[in-house]
Amino acid sequence: MTDEKRTTIDSTDITIDQKLIDEGTAQLNSEIQVLENWLAELGSTGDDDAEVAAARKSYHDMLSSRREMLSALAKQAKLQAVVTK
């Protein structure tokens, strides 16, 4: 994506209903907790075969993705709060 297109996308007004933001935040927090629990369980098994390593990597990737989405949602909520004040 070119810088010009990115600037155009970044400068567009996107509004999300506060209820949707709250629901999305709750859902992402729930998914993050589940993934953290799964990773803790994998860590406590002591197994380190290829299957466990693949699951660990997959869960870490999913956890990272959920945290990025949560961060983006929080930024959007802050931007919206500034715009609506």
Q: Is 1 inside any structural domain?
A: no
Q: Is 13 inside any structural domain?
A: no
Select the more confidently predicted residue: 35 or 82: 35
Which is nearest to 16 in space by CA: 64, 61, 79, 65?
Answer: 79
How far, in Å, CA of 14 to CA of 79, rounded?
A: 10
Q: Is 5 inside any structural domain?
A: no
Q: How many domains are there within the chain?
A: 1
Q: Is 62 inside any structural domain?
A: yes
Q: Is 61 inside any structural domain?
A: yes
User: How confident is the prediction for the chain on average, in pLDDT?
Assistant: 84
How far, in Å, CA of 7 to CA of 25, rounded?
A: 26
Tell me, what's the pLDDT at 32?
A: 98
Please give the residue range of the domain that contains residue 59. 18-84
For residue 59, pLDDT over 80 is answered with yes
- Model pTM score: 0.74
Which is nearest to 69 in space by CA: 36, 32, 39, 35?
Answer: 32
For residue 41, pLDDT over 90 is answered with yes
